[in-house]
Structure 1
Amino acid sequence: MGIRDIIEGKKQWRAHVARVKALPPDYQIVYKEMQKYLFKVGPVDLADGQLLTGIVDFFQEGAAAGKGVLELIGPDVAAFCDGLIKDTPTYADAYQASISGKYGFDERDR
């Protein structure tokens, strides 16, 4: 990763944060809670930015339609986040696999 990649990544993140700040206050609060939860749970592909960008897109559409944020996601933020990442491997899954000896091969292959 070169310096240009780092600079471009920072520009993209700043643009993303500006989009979040443009959301209504209730959307911003829920987005920040979702972000904290997702950073804690740690889906492996979170770093590519598509999940968080998709959430902001979804929130912008909901705000434009005049809906409250809880009308969109329901009362349980964690459950909504879990639904988003249900088929996505997490760092916790990778860790569990590493300590249980599941490295992508059968015990008979040893």
Structure 2
Amino acid sequence: MGVRDIIEGKKQWRAHMARVKALPPDYEIVYKEIQKYYFKVGPIDLLNGSLLADLLDFFEEGVADGKGVLELIGEDVAAFADDLIKDSRTFAEVHQESVARKLGTAEK
């Protein structure tokens, strides 16, 4: 990854976050909590950027339709967030598999 790629990535991220800040306050809060959760959990799909971008698009559609955020995603924000990544591998899973392989190799 070159310097130009890093600069372009930062520009894209800033534009993305500007869209987040343009959401109504309830949407922005929920989006940021889901984002924070994903950064902790570490779904691998987060790297290509489509997961958060798709979530933001979904939220913007909800705003355009005049729906409240909880009306759009349901009362259980955590369940909604988990459901979005239920089929995604996480960095934690990859790390655990790596450790298990190393332990399996060390025992032999």
Shift of 1:45: 2.1
Whether 1:33 aligns to 2:28 is: no
Q: Which residue of 2 aligns with 1:19?
A: 19
Q: Which residue of 1 aligns with 2:100?
A: 100
Kindly report the root-mean-square deviation, in angstroms, between the aligned alpha carbons of the 2 structures: 1.6
Q: How do 1:1-110 and structure 2 match up within 5 A?
A: 1-101=1-101
Structure with greater helix percent: 2
Q: What is the aligned length?
A: 104
Q: Which runs of 5+ in 2 are unaligned?
A: none
- In 1, the alpha carbon distance for the partners of 2:55 and 2:79 equals 14
Q: Taking every aligned residue pair, what percent have the same amino acid on both sides?
A: 70
- In 2, the alpha carbon distance for the partners of 1:7 and 1:95 equals 29
Q: Which runs of 5+ in 1 are unaligned?
A: none
SS state at 1:101 partner = helix
Q: Which runs of 4+ in 1 moved over 2 A?
A: none
**Normalised TM-score (structure 1):** 0.89
Code of the residue aligned with 1:91 in structure 2: it is F
Shift of 1:92: 1.2
